[in-house]
Amino acid sequence: MHEMSICESLRVSMEEAARAQDFSRVTRVRLAIGAFAGVEVEALRFGFDVVMQGSLAEGAELVVLEEAGSAWCFDCNATVPLAARLDPCPCCGGERLVPNGGTGMTIKDLEVV
């Protein structure tokens, strides 16, 4: 349930942005969440609703843009697209892979008032 902590961090980031960019309410939040970011989107949505209560983003719409995963294949010596963590390399079928894309989670933008 570190999704709750992620939502806390998100709330603090929005509060900082509100001070810096002078807005008082957030009506929509767009996040980019990588396929390998270790975040369960449904848990994140639940945490978002709970954590945002009473904050500047209470009732805000949460839009999650899912980012595709990729991995470094030690056998191909190349970055390859990877849909699921335990898939083999789509090029050589090898299994020596380290995710190198779709590992992050970013706040893209906010719709604010």
Partner 1 sequence: MCVTCGCGPDAVTISGPHGEAHAHEHGHSHGHDHDHGHDHGHGHDHSHDHGHAHAEAHAHGEGHGHSHAHSHADAHGHAHGAHSHTPAEAQPERSHAPGLDARRMVEIERNILAKNDGYADVNRARLGRDGVFALNLLAGPGAGKTTLLVETLKALKDKIPAAVIEGDQQTSNDAERIRAVGAPAVQINTGKGCHLDAHMVGHALDKLPLPAGGVLFIENVGNLVCPAAFDLGEDRRVTLLSVTEGEDKPLKYPDIFEGAHLVLLTKADLVPHLDVDVDTIIANVRRINPTATVLTLSSRTGAGMAAWLSWLEDVRAEKLEALAEEAAARAAALRGAARRAAE
Tokens encoding 91 = 């090029």
- x-or-dash pattern for partner 1, window 9-38, by CB under 8 A? xx-xx-xxxxxxxxxx--xx-xx------x
* Contact assessment for residue 85 and residue 103, using Cβ atoms and an 8 Å cutoff: no
Of 108, 100, 79, 105, whose CA–CA distance to 91 is shortest? 79
Spatial CB neighbours of 19, under 8 Å, sequence gap ≥ 6: none
Does residue number 110 form part of the binding site for partner 1 (CB under 8 A)? yes
Q: Give me the least distance between CB of 37 and partner 1, in Å please.
A: 8
Of residues 56 and 80, the one with the C-beta less far from partner 1: 56
Point out which residues bind partner 1 (CB under 8 A).
1-2, 4-10, 12-13, 15-24, 27-28, 30-31, 38-39, 47, 51, 56, 63, 74, 85-86, 95-99, 104-113
